[in-house]
Structure 1
Amino acid sequence: MNFNFTPFPVLETERLTLRELNLTDAKAIFGLRTNKEVNEFIDRKRPNNLSEARAFIDRISTLTLNNEGIFWVIESKSNHQLMGSIGLRNFEDEDDYAEIGYELDPIYQQKGFMSEAFEEVLKFGFNQMELKTIEAFTHKNNMDSIMLLEKQKFVFHPEIKDEGFENNISYRLTK
């Protein structure tokens, strides 16, 4: 699998624009990645300041430039607010595989925005990237995430473990 994310593929839905992350997003990314509700079920290092949020943006930009991952900002078409993010990474050539990750600001949850973004990214992954399998790891107690995955026809795989994250469970969607 050789991907080329240049130019960056902007995706659009009825209500959303999925676009490239940039340094002007640092404040919004800082807010999202430090939000207690967003991080309730995510085990990751949180940024302590805007400099660390900018460093995260730089790391994501490098991943995209090297075609090792792709990370979209979920932005509202109506007010151009950054609502969340969604991305594909951890590509495995022999299995035509990627892992999907996502987060959404709580004020936008339960309104169908993530489902809308998810469907567009899945189409991109299966059609443009020609992936065969997309996997999501989610915390076993994150019922909203589990319901989203099941709504998108992902199948629970209890035998798969997320190394280093004992509370995570695996859901997979195969084309």
Structure 2
Amino acid sequence: MDFDFTTFPVLETERLTLRALNLEDTKAIFGLRTNKEVNEFIDRKTPKNLSEARAFIDLISNQAANNKGVFWVIEAKNNHQLLGTIGLRNFEDEEDYAEIGYEIHPDYQDRGYMSEAFKEILKFGFKEMNLKTFEAFTHKNNNASKALLEKHSFVFQPERTDEGFVNNVIYKLTGNN
């Protein structure tokens, strides 16, 4: 799989623009990645300051520049507010595979934004990237995330475990559903 994200794939839905993360997003990314509710089910290092948030943005930008991942800001069209993020990474050639990851600020949950973004990313992955398999790793108690995955035809993989993350469960989507 040879991807080229040097020209970033900006995607649009009815209410959203999915665009590249940039340094102007530093405060919003810091707020999202340090939010207690967002992090309740995510095992990750949270940024301590804006400098660490900028370092995260640099990391994400480098992944895209090196075609190792693609990470979109979910932005509302009506007010250009950063609502959350969604991305694809951990590509595997043999299986035409990518892992999908996502987060949304609590102020914008339960409004269908993530589902709208999810649908567009899956369409992009299947049609533009020719992916055949998506996997998502989510906390076993994150019912909203599990419901989102099931809504988009992901299937729970009870026999599999996420090495190093004992509380995570794995969902998989295969084929162009």
Q: What's the TM-score bracket when you normalise by the shorter of the two chains?
A: over 0.9
Per-residue CA deviations over 1:137-175 (Å, capped at 9, x if unaligned) read 000000000000000010000112111101000000011
For residue 135 of structure 1, what is the amino acid of its counterpart?
E
Distance 2:165 2:154 in 1: 20
Give the corresponding residue for 2:11.
11
% same residue? 74
- Structure-1 residue corresponding to 2:126: 126
CA positional deviation for 1:6: 2.0
1:112 aligns to what?
A: 112
1:41 is aligned to 2:37: no
- Separation in structure 1 between the aligned mates of residue 137 and residue 59 of structure 2, nearest angstrom: 21
SS in 1 for 2:38: coil
Q: Report the secondary structure of 1:165's partner residue.
A: coil
2:55 alignment partner in structure 1: 55
**Which residue does the alignment assign to 2:66?**
66
Three-state SS of the structure 1 residue aligned to 2:84 is: strand
Structure 1 runs of 4+ aligned residues shifted over 4 Å read none
May I ask how many residue pairs the two structures share in their alignment? 175
Measured in 2, the distance between the counterparts of 1:164 and 1:11 equals 33
- 5+ long unaligned stretches in structure 1: none
Q: Summarize deviations over 1:57-94 as a string: whole Å, max 9, x none.
A: 00000000000000000000000000000000000111
Please say if 1:148 is aligned against 2:137: no
TM-score, scaled to structure 2: 0.98
Q: Provide the rounded CA distance (Å) in 2 between the counterparts of 1:102 and 1:160.
A: 21
SS of residue in 2 equivalent to 1:37: helix
Aligned partner of 1:69: which letter? G
Can you list the C-alpha shifts for 1:94-126, whole angstroms capped at 9, x where unaligned? 111000000000010000000000000000111
Comparing 31-40 and 154-163, the one that deviates more: 154-163
Give the unaligned 5+ runs of structure 2.
none
- CA-based RMSD: 0.4
Q: TM-score, structure 1 length as denominator?
A: 0.99
Which of 53-62 and 153-162 deviates more? 153-162
